[in-house]
Chain A
Amino acid sequence: MMERIPILKLGDTLIVSIQGDLEDQGVLALQEDLADKVVMTGARGVIIDISAVEIVDSYIGRMLATIADILRMLDADTVVVGMRPAVAITLVELGLSLGGVRTALDLEKGVALLDHVRSTPR
């Protein structure tokens, strides 16, 4: 059985914290679970905490971008928070700059960014 990543709800924001090394299907399952939960709860913002993630390769990076795209179509904004410096350096060298993904340094700044994004007309 594959472990699902728990999704927490705080007001109209969903928060997930990815712990440890994820298999490819785990990331795919997270994509589906988040899309379902956004629709179910009407959440307007999603924060994905990757502070415990030691590597992001092209697959995981692409999935983060895809998740942000999907959730945007479901009327929710996504912020990826807590990326480790070594992960950021490696991702850019790999050639993936995640241009379409909003990021913040930590959870608190992620929440503030979501507030800001939602108070600014798109």
Chain B
Amino acid sequence: MTGDGPLPIVSNADIVAVRQQVRTAAVESGFSLIDQTKVVTAASELARNALVYAGGGQVRIEVVENARRRGLRLEFHDEGPGIPDVEQALTDGWTTGSGLGLGLSGSRRLVDEFDLDSVPGKGTTVTVTKWAR
């Protein structure tokens, strides 16, 4: 997976493809079934956000390693409208769409590290990392 280019997210089929690629990478990184499920679910939320709110984007899937363990880092990037109030967007139940407002706040709970970087008018980058236990 590492070394491959980013995956495009421009259609609903791409969301399924992202889920499948993240699953494969999680299995290869030695994730437990529950951790696989959590990271794939987070990826599904973030991919859908990029598609729905930014009209599309991409994700880079990377296997990372520190002294103690392996993990998976996913970097979602889009050049959509951005998020004016990041704090608010990360609140459970806050949505400008027709969702439940759980995608961002929920996926933050499903991973170990969560970083949201958004510039209004420029785009949004969400980087998440989950470590194998």
Contacts and interface: CB of A to CB of B under 8 A. Distances in A.
Tell me whether A and B are bound partners.
yes
Interface of A: 21-25, 54-59, 62, 84-87, 89-90, 93-96
- Chief secondary structure at chain B's binding surface: helix
23 contacts: A23-B15, A24-B12, A54-B23, A54-B37, A55-B44, A56-B41, A58-B99, A59-B44, A59-B48, A84-B37, A85-B34, A86-B37, A90-B37, A90-B110, A93-B38, A93-B106, A94-B45, A94-B106, A95-B92, A95-B106, A95-B109, A96-B100, A96-B102
Contacts of B119: none
B34 A94 contact: no
Contacts of B40: 54-55
Residue among A62, A89, A95 with max Cβ neighbours from chain B (10 Å): A95
Given A23-B16, A96-B100, A55 B37 contact: yes
A19 B20 CA distance: 15
A108 to B, nearest CB: 24
B129 interface: no
- Chief secondary structure at chain A's binding surface: helix
A95 B38 CA distance: 12
Interface in B1-53: 12-13, 15-16, 19-20, 23, 33-34, 36-38, 40-41, 44-45, 48
Nearest to A87: B37
A94 B105 CA distance: 8
Contacts of A84: 37
Contacts of B37: 54-55, 84, 86-87, 89-90
A20 to B, nearest CB: 9
Contacts of A25: 12
A113 to B, nearest CB: 25
Contacts of B45: 57-58, 94
A21 B20 contact: yes
